[in-house]
Structure 1
């Protein structure tokens, strides 16, 4: 009996040692895997260059980072949509229908839930609703997050840069998984196959010089595409999943256009005001947060370059809280902005302040998206 116990104990010991060894190997594998992934991120960052492209791998992509990584400055935004607050199955409210079927929806994958628009028919086409369809000009940036399902079929997204004055001067940028096609040029491919999921595409156009990035890797660098001046953009997609049961449809969850290089002063003169939503304060506070400095420095530079310009600084809040508290908060925030500008050398006499509280909302919807839009500072020419 004792011999049996001894043998049993020995076998148990050997078994436990095997488990520890396997666990150790798994731990080592995970450490090596993490180092490899970190190295991939470094390569992506290095290859992105100094264009301000997203410097992150797809592994760490989250919806919130897209606008804030420096490729597009929020102060320069001409159009932005992340589809939050939209009703599922309805047509997206900020877009104009051209052909086919597209709808709002929600999509969850890998623990991330996104509000999206999805293509429920192949080659459906839409465009941002911007009055006049004449907003791109010779310098702009575009940022879009697209989903690739890798389930077979010819899935792609097409950014069609349009020239409404000359039908022979349109230009297509086609995005498929791991590649970008630039007009009639050859396709440019990623060094490797990106995984299923969300991918960020960035396009920079500056007086004929077109650059395009796929997850931070530059795939297009064309210094002269005819020196076109484009007026507006249309988007369509091939969506194999729209006709196949159980297959994921083509989707986007974020789209932005910035009027790159458009001087603040030109915007102020043209529209009479500049709306800035990149001036941040803590909740119910009026101390300017350091994240606001880049946007404020642009205002400082504009006022220094145009010494005869005088402005009224308007403070606006959302509708949370009492009207009285929001009114006082908006006044204090406008005054805080003026004090900052004075500290940077702008004469106090060139600026006045006023607070409107929650009185003048841009978006009257009762949701977080609307509240964020309504919290802002405006600079009005006087």
Structure 2
């Protein structure tokens, strides 16, 4: 009886070992098949990618031959744009480095172009290209204007008429250029007479060639150049830009007075400009790509205290935040510095800081975001020495819009921080 029992146990054990062996064999076969299939997929995908790239390259050559363009300049980028070597570092150097920044933009927006509603690979809908190649692309989740390498480009804003610059205005934009051994390139801003929008500007009596970040093999320069005279000065390369970093350019003009800022640095200030220019033109010539974003023209730029006294409030378009966040951009410090200084000099002043959004998004989200942004501004001002009791905050969301939510300019007008005197 005991012997029979042991034989049965031994038999079951052999059967179990056989099943395990068979399962392992089946598993091995499945793994082998999976490896084989993966290898085949890689070959197929690689071949497909190579075919697609070859077709893209052939299509590019055909397009360039038809349009008479050099093969070195692509007609359209089919992939998301990324900076050279992936070295985009952003425009911000830290908000604390803007402690002495004094640029305050105008409080009436004339033109706003952030490319947010435009499609990749398309020509910019808000800019008229006079010459050259440029297209809208996405870079790190942001829409930018990509100027093709080895090309010259000029554009003017699309406006209802060509006479849109007032006597007092501000211009802001961000630019990324590259500084290499074989690099040449420049970026120039022209304020000129509108009698001929396609003219180079050199013959205009009001012409001002304003900004040169790079000029071939010369040192970076910045300033003004007028017919027969110039006021350009060499500046350190780390201030001017290069190496794939975003630089924030801010320009203030008031009749014969002009100031130019690169990031937190005020580089030039003059008072001998010829007044009367009424339109804007920007040009670029570079052996490497140039990227531009966040172009904004605004009327005004008055002392904020005058506006507070005359209007009882000040619309602070200079206070900017990261998209859909309550994180202050460093260039916001120009306006914040102005109000902190004002409140320290005028102890009788007290303000409500009102946060406002455009009409995109849900009301709940906009209310929350606008409140958070107003709170952040107050916190920064209190940190800088303003008594907390003199500041209150309120997030209005999109409930107090001052323009329809139907264009880039109108959305920019609605996205604002207001200082309302109490």
For normalisation by structure 1, the TM-score amounts to 0.50
TM-score by length of 2: 0.46
Greater C-alpha radius of gyration: 2
